[in-house]
Structure 1
Amino acid sequence: MEPAPGYELTLLLLLGSRTMIDTLHKHLAARGYDDVRPAHGFVFHRLAPDGATGNELAEFLDMTKQAASEMVDYLEQHGYVVRQPHPTDRRGKIVTLTERGWSCIRETEAILSHLEGQWATIIGANRMEELKIDLRQLVTVANGGFLPQKFRPTW
């Protein structure tokens, strides 16, 4: 079934994103990171480079503090993050990446760069750069002149 005209762009963006993320996680699993889920990438993005409190993480992910805490629990149990005393608030904790977390980020960056390069060989490097410029402009304009600073994990 052909998508209705108004759905084609949305469908293609979702399929492209899903293809990239699924391929990324297949490669991460092969490199020993089979316990990382797509939503965890959003957590890593917020924690790098200096960490974040549970409240900051929940706000960034646009989820409840309880949901963010459960995600941090999982990542802590698997060695990707650690909770430490907050440097300025004795009552609080700050969540930071461990060496395993940083290693996962480095692997992710390498894999995504490789995948983007593969896609660029299909459409050409210039068209890939133009695509990124166009998408950045569309997203920025659609969000009142700003790139969104919150990421809600959707899978």
Structure 2
Amino acid sequence: MVVRRSERKQGDPDLGVLAGQLLFAVQEQLFETLAHQGHSHLRPQHGAVLAYLDPEGSRATDIARHSGLHKQVVGKLLDELETLGYVERRPDPADRRAKLILPTALGLDQMTRSDAILAAVEQHHADAIGVEAYAAFKRLFTHVVRQQRAWRDQA
């Protein structure tokens, strides 16, 4: 009997499948909720930039480094977010050659709402499996992510 790959992944999903399923489920809930709260123009791709944007401003190169996205991808997403009114570019006072990406009032509102939505998601899971079990899961998951990045960087 031949077991199809899709059936094998459903019965015993690997780390990549599980991480992807979690990412997509969280993104779906986050962006649907944000849309109902007045941020209907945002897409999950924008979240990859907004998640790493400091309220005091960030450089695009720092966002790219923290997010793991290519600088050109970050630049394209920042162009879209600027057009949508979520960020603005200003000269960086520490280096006039560089641009600082600052959230607008709309961007700050989105950041605050996203933080609250994600806190509710985390609280839901902590309630479902227990606060200590959820804290242990996050510690272990964080460790696995760091180990994977370190292993990748050694290659």
Equivalent residue, structure 2, for 1:151: none
TM-score, normalisation: structure 1: 0.78
Give the C-alpha shift of residue 115 in structure 1.
1.2
Q: Percent identity?
A: 27
Partner of 1:144: 150
Secondary structure of 2:70's aligned partner: coil
Higher helix share: 2
TM-score normalized by the length of structure 2 = 0.78
Match of 2:133 among 127, 138, 141: 127
1:62 corresponds in structure 2 to 69
Tell me the CA shift for residue 5 of structure 1: 7.8
The 5 Å alignment of 1:93-112 reads 93-112=99-118
State the number of aligned residues: 145
- Shift of residue 112 of structure 1? 0.7
Residues 91 and 98, structure 2, Cα contact 8 Å, conserved in 1? yes
1:19 CA drift (Å): 0.8
Structure 2: tracts of 5 or more residues without a match: 1-6
Q: Does 1:15 align with 2:18?
A: no
Hey, what's the Cα distance between the residues in 1 that align with 2:120 and 2:142? 21
- Report if aligned partners of 2:60, 2:71 keep a CA contact under 8 Å in 1: no
